[in-house]
Amino acid sequence: MGNAFRLNAAVSVELVVLTLGTRTIPNDTLCALLVQRLYAPFRGRWALPGGFVEPDESLSGAAVRALREETNIRADRIHLEQLATYGEPGRDSRGRVIGVAYLALIPNLPAPSAGSEVSAAAIWSVEQVLADRGRLAFDHHRILTDGVERARAKLEYSPLATAFCGREFTVADLRRVYEVVWGTDIDPRNFHRKVTTTPGFVEATGRSTSRDGGRPARLYRAGPARALHPPMMRPS
């Protein structure tokens, strides 16, 4: 191509930030962080946090900056992982934009507040958002759908679910995390057997609790495992 070569695309980042519940939403609800757009295109529509990558910053740096600028949530210590890249022509009316999406799963997401680039920032029920394909701007419905599916898959092969429990928890507490993220009921006995026999998944504390008013339940803490062998497969 020689001298005919020219740059013809901008690069953006989008963040799928998931948590379980908020101060106003029950903790048995899978939620996502959204912002309301202040400018065209899609002015007034809700969207995932994000923005264009500046010339002097990395992709991950742009993601951290965009989250802070739009929601006032600092992502310096939040684990962000790349989810996927989206580059279909026409996904942005302003021109060709290649979007790199990041996924973050945060047990205790701070309350967001709108930055100068958005009208509002809020935490929404994922089920509510995905039920309306036209609620989100751009192709963010697809990106959020992909992010939720990645989160569900991570619960199969990693002990991530323990991060959404307290320092000590019952197997029922852990099962509820799986049920919320997977969106399905799980057989309690099979789940208990899998959790307590998977090496390094959880460790017994030697204590129990009767906080639910029933029979005392054993308390566990997260084990040292970084991957689950065998994995916790979703009910078919």
Predicted confidence (pLDDT) per residue in 162-219, tens digit:
988 889 999 999 999 999 999 999 999 999 999 999 999 999 999 998 876 678 899 9
Is pLDDT above 70 for 63?
Answer: yes
Burial (CB count <10 Å: 0-12, 13-18, 19+), residue 155: buried
Q: In angstroms, rounded to a whole number, what is the distance separating the alpha carbons of residues 138 and 156? A: 30
Residue 6's pLDDT band, with cuts at 50, 70 and 90, is low
Give residue limits of the domains in the chain: 7-156, 158-222
Q: In angstroms, rounded to a whole number, what is the distance separating the alpha carbons of residues 61 and 221? A: 33
**Residue carrying the six token digits 């990041």:** 102
Q: Classify 158-222 by CATH class.
A: mainly alpha
Q: Give the CATH number of domain 7-156.
A: 3.90.79.10
pLDDT digits (tens, 9 = 90+) for 150-159: 999 999 999 9
pLDDT for the residue 3 = 58
Q: Ramachandran region of residue 171, left (φ > 0), alpha (ψ -120 to 50) or beta?
A: alpha
pTM: 0.89
pLDDT for the residue 210 = 81
Instruction: Extract the runs of DSSP E, i.e. beta strands, from the chain.
Output: 10-20, 30-37, 46-47, 50-52, 81-86, 97-105, 118-125, 202-209, 217-222
Q: In angstroms, rounded to a whole number, what is the distance separating the alpha carbons of residues 121 and 175? A: 30
In the chain, % of residues over pLDDT 90: 79
Distances (CA, A) of 101 to 52, 86, 196: 12, 8, 35
Residue 79's pLDDT band, with cuts at 50, 70 and 90, is confident
